[in-house]
Structure 1
Amino acid sequence: MTRPGSAGYDYDVVIGGAGLAGSAAAILLARRGVRVALLERRSDPEAYKVLCTHSLQADAYPVLDELGLLPALEKAGAVRNVARWYTRWGWIEPRAAPAGPELPYGYNIRRSTLDPLIRSRAAKTPGVDLLLGHRVTGLVPQAGRTSGVRAATPQGEREIRARLVVGADGKDSAVAKSAGVPARTYENARFGYLAHFRGLPLRGGVGHTWFLEPDMAYAFPNDDGVTVIAVLPDKKRLPAFREDLEGSFFAYVRALPEAPPIDSAERITKIIGTVDYPFHSRTPTALGVALIGDAALTGDPLWGVGCGWALQSAQWLAEAVAPAAIGRGDLNRSLAAYARRHRRRLRGHQYLAADFAKSRPFNPLERLMFSAAARDESVARHMHLFASRLISPLQFLNPLTLAKASAVNIKHRGAAAPSLHQPPTGS
């Protein structure tokens, strides 16, 4: 039986890009009865994204659960990503409240493990056709909107018609460019390099992040006993790294407080990175087009939010457009609902990240919150929720929390001040 309004379409939805966002969207849409063509420009089903934090924040957990990936991630050795953060006031170490639930968590897992896993799940999902070696080269217009894509394939150019085209093809999205969707660009005053090590213990077996104002670094344990270490210095340090990448990378890590012992560990990859990584935001929809993952919003890699936002945006899109994608609703209205949710959930986080990407020291509000979190467990838990993107910036900086942080710091200063009735000790 022909679906309502399906005449002339090869699929209900065609997705460009079979990474995290595209594969997740394909699975979630197909489970809702949508026929999906999932295009991937690379021909190797084991292909994966190399330059990544390899971190799935806790905001991605519900999506991973809906996808049914949690048992497979645990079996693959994914590491639950509770972390500690160094600041000039000491370490922030979020812990569960004594009588409360465990802290929300996501996973650290290498993309070489994760990408083939989710792509394979998509390929096995009824209603999804995974088309490897298909690179989007343009869009098919019809009556003022997009109604499909043109793709280069090993057999030559082909046209695939669909009611909705989804761009899940990364920050340089061919879908977005072909649709004429402009990007707002934010400059990044830091650069970054990372490498993978085996046999590198971290205190407590948890991830470490260093806020060095303005420089940054992190070390995250991953599957198969591999730890990824990344350095994100101010661009003032760039000449030294260009002159001697390996020497500068190792010297930078050795100088970190409680530095990981990289000299005794085995480096199993090259040191890779980028000296210029601006990030951007795009309007996530156009007529007949939706953007998810990095195609819609590329965040600062310093925060490790890209994988989680890729999965979340795929879920938000599937929830909003599935009925309309099979001809049982207004597609324009559904796309508008997706765009509103995307902006509401991510715009504030992106704004704060863009401001911090100026490579500046902490501002007064950040000093208040980070110093209090280093001194008080409840503030540390609150910061963990924000760093995991489970609460919005407004929730993070709500008046009650700011008052709590102020009280913590006032109490700390009072305890640190010498008593007027006791002589100072020491010489």
Structure 2
Amino acid sequence: MTRPESAGYEYDVVISGASLAGSAAAILLARRGVRVALLERRSDPEAYKVLCTHSLTANAYPVLDELGLVPAIEEAGAVRNEARWYTRWGWIEPRAAPKGPELPYAYNIRRSTLDPLIRSRAAQTPGVDLLLGHQVTGLVREAGRTTGVRASTPQGEREIRARLVVGADGKDSAVAKFAGVPARQYENGRFGYLAHFRNLPLSGGIGQAWFLEPDMAYAFPNDDGVTVMAVLPGKDRLPAFRNDLEGSFLAFIRALPEAPPIDAAERVTKIIGTIDYPLHSRKPTAPGMALIGDAALTSDPLWGVGCGWALESAQWLSEAVARAATGRDDLDRSLAAYERRHRRQLQGHQHLATDFAKARPFNPVERLVFSAAARDASLARHMHLFASRLIGPPRFLNPAALAKAAAVNIKHRASATPPTR
């Protein structure tokens, strides 16, 4: 039984969190005839997430397209997120094949631009009530399932009942906490700091990432001529950063191969970051409840996948539960379908991310693939598909790809070996 008969529902779905995942889910559910209360604890409609890679990987493009946001974010100055990656074997530089289609892409766009844009679209969507200044303080429970939320509002405490409660409230999800859904945590062996620079030229005018084994860095060009520059060193370097954050941050960037000329650019933000950012995952469903975005799974920020997965999980949930949320299907069965898809799509990616978050050098398989991708255009494109989260680990590391990588490296070594006399 998935609907307690005594529950009087004000909405079909209550979503806690009106950032990317929550706003996208509200739009997609409402378009399917679902009545949605979209709760946001902050009262400012222009509020945005500050600590972020500000990048939407290419797997998010179909969701942006379904939301109708592509023209708006391009008009707002979003930059297509082409990138090149430094390794000890040289640069991996994915390019479209001759006479082939262009490489898949999405966008780099600052959250100060993107968050208010998607939240505004949600507020304008028929069937969505955006309720600002509403912070979830507890869940309404009946017959062992969640049937609503209690919220602190500008007008006082309020109870809102719904068939489904969705936690889109980030890695420290209050909805998950109140529902008793534990998080499985994985240590991150790196810490991270970033700052925004204006008029920072990058090689080729595209994003750059540095795999320094184990340290990392990236530079992503964004809207309005602003580039996000981030460093992610191993924690053995933390004492130096604590002693002199600005000096250590700038020195780290200056020492990068083909380092961006930050001293000639204008830094327009403070240096911000975190010294402890564990990865975590939660079971994304419980009776009457679902989790999306970082509330369900938080990955390593060095990969820049969080925004894309937030949008994808919102889409997966809306496709799975829309009929059930309006009482036309079984909600528990629909939630189970969402959970299976979430696990199938993201579990393998997260497994690799948690292993690499140990801040270790490349393992033998990574050395094989990264070195070959620096030497072969087709393998560089193959890596681009994986970095864009358009293919999963089984396809990325399939036997044919590994065999080709081995052949590329053997040929390279043969050509580099001087002939014997």
Say whether the fold is shared (TM-score over 0.5). yes
**Residue equivalent to 2:271:** 271
Q: Does 1:231 align with 2:226?
A: no
Q: Which residue of 2 aligns with 1:15?
A: 15
1:15-56 deviation digits (Å, cap 9, x = unpaired): 000000000000000000000000000000000000000000
Q: 1:302 to 1:6 in 2, by over 3 A?
A: farther
Using the alignment, how far apart are the partners of 1:397 and 1:199 within structure 2?
38
Aligned to 2:87: 87
Residue 399 of structure 2: aligned partner:
399
Note the C-alpha offset of 1:4. Answer: 12
Is contact 1:22-1:168 (8 Å) kept? yes
Per the TM alignment, residue 7 of structure 1 is displaced from its structure 2 partner at its CA by 6.6
Question: Equivalent residue for 1:57?
Answer: 57
Aligned to 2:411: 411
Structure 1 pair 325–273 and aligned structure 2 pair: CA distance change class (3 A): same
- SS in structure 1 of the partner of residue 374 of structure 2: helix
* 1:154 Cα deviation from its structure 2 partner: 1.1
8 Å contact 1:58–1:104 — kept in the other structure? Answer: yes
1:309-330 residue CA offsets vs partner (Å, 9 max, x unmatched): 0000000000000000000000
SS at match of 1:329: coil
Aligned: 1:327 with 2:327: yes
> In the alignment, residue 348 of structure 1 is paired with which amino acid?
G
2:112 counterpart SS class? helix
Specify the code of the residue in structure 2 equivalent to 1:128: V
**TM-superposed deviation, 1:404:** 0.4
1:168-204 deviation digits (Å, cap 9, x = unpaired): 0000000000111111000001000000000100011
Deviation digits for residues 370-391 of structure 1, max 9, x if unmatched? 0000000000000000000000
CA contact (8 A) 1:5 1:327 kept: no
Instruction: Tell me the distance in 2 between the aligned counterparts of 1:155 and 1:83.
Output: 48
1:249 alignment partner, SS class: helix
Q: How does 1:136-151 map to 2 (within 5 A)?
A: 136-151=136-151
Say if 1:56 and 1:256 are closer, same or farther in 2 by CA, change over 3 A: same
Give the counterpart letter for 2:396 in structure 1.
F
Q: How does 1:10-409 map to 2 (within 5 A)?
A: 10-409=10-409
Residue 5 of structure 1, CA deviation: 7.3
Unaligned runs of 5+ in 1: 422-427
How many Å separate the matches in 1 of 2:150 and 2:317? Answer: 22
Structure 2 letter corresponding to 1:107: Y
Per the TM alignment, residue 69 of structure 1 is displaced from its structure 2 partner at its CA by 0.2
Give the aligned residue type for 2:66: E
| Letter of the 1:412 counterpart | H
RMSD of aligned residue pairs (Cα, Å): 1.2
SS of alignment partner, residue 348 of structure 2: helix
CA distance in 2, matches of 1:215, 1:372: 21
- C-alpha change, 1:410 and 1:136, in structure 2 (3 Å) is same
Deviations 1:234-259 (A, max 9, x none): 00000000000000000000000000
Work out the CA distance in 1 between the residues paired with 2:145 and 2:278: 30
Shift in Å at residue 399 of structure 1?
0.5
Contact 1:4/1:326 (<8 A) preserved: no
Alignment deviations for residues 379-424 of structure 1 (CA, whole Å, 9 cap, x no partner) = 0000000000000100000000000000000000000000124xxx
Letter in 1 for 2:342: H
- Equivalent pair of 2:38/2:128 in contact (CA under 8 Å): yes
Q: Distance in 2 between matches of 1:280 and 1:319?
A: 25
Separation in 1, partners of 2:4, 2:341: 27
In structure 1, how many angstroms separate the alpha carbons of the residues matched to 2:411 and 2:387?
25
Amino acid at match of 2:150: R
Count of residues in correspondence between the two structures: 419
SS in 2 for 1:375: coil
Counterpart amino acid of 2:126?
P
1:266-311 per-position Cα deviation (integer Å, ceiling 9, x unaligned): 0000000001101100000000000000000001000000000000
Q: Distance in 2 between matches of 1:279 and 1:246?
A: 26
User: Residue 83 of structure 1 contacts residue 206 of structure 1 at CA under 8 Å; is this kept in 2?
Assistant: yes
Measured in 1, the distance between the counterparts of 2:4 and 2:49 equals 38
Q: Secondary structure at the match of 2:297?
A: coil
Secondary structure in 2 aligned to 1:340?
A: helix
Question: How far off its partner does 1:6 sit?
Answer: 10
CA offset digits 1:326-367 (Å, max 9, x no partner): 000000000000000000000000010000000000000000
Q: Write the distance in 2 (CA, Å) between the matches of 1:157 and 1:4.
A: 24
Task: State the percentage of identical aligned residues.
Answer: 84
**Structure 2 stretches of 5 or more lacking a match?**
none
Contact 2:7 2:147 in 1 (8 A): no
- 2:333 is aligned with what amino acid? R
- The one-letter amino acid of 2:303's match is W
- Distance in 2 (alpha carbons) for counterparts of 1:279 and 1:394: 21
SS in 2 for 1:61: helix
Write the letter of the residue equivalent to 2:309.
Answer: W
CA deviations over 1:137-195 (Å, ceiling 9, x no partner): 11000111110000001111100000000000000000000111111000001000000
TM-score by length of 2: 0.99
What TM-score do the two structures reach when normalised by structure 1? 0.97
User: What CA distance in whole angstroms lies between the structure 2 residues aligned with 1:7 and 1:212?
Assistant: 56
- The structure-2 alpha-carbon separation of the partners of 1:370 and 1:10, relative to structure 1 and needing over 3 Å to count, comes to same
Q: Runs in 1 of length 4+ with deviation above 4 angstroms?
A: 3-7
